[in-house]
């Protein structure tokens, strides 16, 4: 599998995320840029698993690029190019490893919160609701079940935790303390606007967007941009609309399938090897998410990358 950072020994490695490798490069205008390279790694319960999901990094990249285009009139993205031929000369020796799974991006001053939007009650939001009747300060009606649609989408920011630790939901006031009132208000507005657009597009293709998270940052000119990945099966919960039934675990196009297997196997929180059938079923869900959301062929994307 490609994409261990040592395979890019000629580049300045900034760090490794759960899925991505980050490198510092110069764009063709001499400005600071970042190369994001998506691996096939998968994590669950804040643990990176030892088994890769073939083509996962390419799906994440392809889907993020498609969404950035759909959202461009709402908020600009950090992407400079995803065409390796347009990358700086220093990256050309790595063209084969980078094709289809990398993005050359503006370097941003990142806002220090995860910007979570929820249209349905599930995951950590449901746990908070069970404990307090609220999520991030949003009081909700009583008697809601796991998987219920919320009266309206809500913004529930969280901390950005280091790898191996868990993001913690915070209130909008706490987010404002971290960001400042003006930026907090703008990020909340953008988060809900992007979530609304994405929910509509997903619904048009028979998919419910239950929740997702975004990241924002300012470029060197002070422009606020949508960053990292966006609306992928790693950062979002996508449910088939025709199978939605509150009060139970929803079928999904995201990595919930892996989480469910780990729980059923008694391996939650372990770096467990995934069996071949779980790997293939997970890959198929990622690919189906891309093809259903975009109406495009993933095979065509790979051929064109």
DSSP string for 228-257: S--S-TTTEEEEEGGG--TTSPPP-SSTHH
Identify the pLDDT of residue 192.
Answer: 98
According to CATH, the topology of domain 110-262 is: D-amino Acid Aminotransferase; Chain A, domain 1 (3.30.470)
Residue 274 DSSP code: P
In this predicted structure, what is the pLDDT of residue 1? 39
What is the spatial distance between Cα 122 and Cα 89, in angstroms, rounded to a whole number?
A: 46
**pLDDT value at residue 15:** 87
| Residue 117 vs residue 253, higher pLDDT | 117
Confidence of residue 165 (pLDDT cuts 50, 70, 90): low
How much is the pTM?
Answer: 0.92
Lowest mean pLDDT among 13-27, 54-68, 102-116, 195-209: 13-27
Question: Is pLDDT of 161 > 90?
Answer: no
Phi, psi at 41, each rounded to 5° = -65, 155
Angle made by CA atoms 165, 150, 118, in degrees to the nearest 5: 35
CA-closest candidate to residue 122, choices 266, 260, 292, 26: 260
Domain ranges in the chain? 110-262
What's the start-to-end Cα distance of the chain, in Å?
17
Residues 6+ apart with CB under 8 A from 226: 68, 71, 75, 76, 77, 78, 190, 194, 214, 215, 216
Place of tokens 């001053």: 109
User: Rounded mean pLDDT of the chain?
Assistant: 92
Share of the chain above pLDDT 90, in %: 82
Confidence at residue 125, expressed as pLDDT on a 0 to 100 scale: 93
Q: What band does 162 get if pLDDT is binned at 50, 70 and 90?
A: low
Residue 109, phi then psi, degrees to nearest 5: -90, 105
Cα angle vertex 75, ends 111, 197, to 5°?
Answer: 110
What is the rounded distance in angstroms from the CA atom of residue 294 to the CA atom of residue 287? Answer: 11
Task: Note the pLDDT of residue 255.
Answer: 85
Q: How far apart are CA 138 and CA 116, in angstroms?
A: 13
């Amino acid at each position: 599998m490609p994409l261990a950072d040592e395979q890019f020994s000629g580049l300045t490695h900034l760090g490794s995320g759960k899925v991505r490798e980050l490198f510092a490069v110069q764009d063709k205008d001499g400005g600071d840029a970042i190369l994001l390279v998506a691996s096939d790694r998968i994590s669950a319960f804040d643990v990176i698993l030892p088994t890769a999901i073939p083509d996962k990094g390419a799906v994440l990249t392809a889907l993020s690029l498609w969404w950035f285009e759909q959202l461009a009139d709402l908020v600009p993205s950090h992407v400079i190019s995803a065409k390796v031929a347009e990358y700086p000369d220093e990256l050309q020796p790595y063209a084969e490893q980078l094709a289809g799974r990398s993005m050359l991006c503006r370097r941003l001053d990142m806002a220090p919160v995860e910007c979570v939007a929820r249209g349905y009650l599930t995951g950590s939001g449901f746990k908070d609701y069970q404990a307090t009747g609220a999520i991030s300060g949003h009081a909700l009606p009583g008697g809601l079940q796991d998987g219920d649609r919320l009266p309206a989408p809500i913004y529930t920011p969280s901390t950005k935790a280091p790898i191996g630790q868990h993001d913690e939901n915070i209130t909008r006031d706490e987010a404002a303390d971290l960001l400042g009132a003006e930026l907090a208000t703008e990020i909340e507005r953008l988060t809900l606007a992007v979530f609304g657009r994405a929910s509509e597009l997903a619904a048009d293709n028979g998919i419910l967007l239950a929740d997702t998270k975004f990241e924002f940052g300012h470029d060197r000119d002070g422009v606020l941009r949508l960053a990292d990945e966006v609306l992928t099966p790693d950062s979002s919960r996508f449910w088939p609309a025709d199978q939605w039934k509150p009060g139970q675990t929803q079928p999904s196009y995201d990595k919930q399938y892996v989480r469910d297997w780990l729980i059923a196997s008694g391996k939650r929180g372990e770096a467990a090897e995934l069996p071949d059938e779980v790997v293939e079923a997970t890959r198929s869900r990622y690919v189906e998410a891309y093809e259903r959301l975009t109406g495009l062929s993933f095979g065509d994307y790979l051929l064109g990358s």
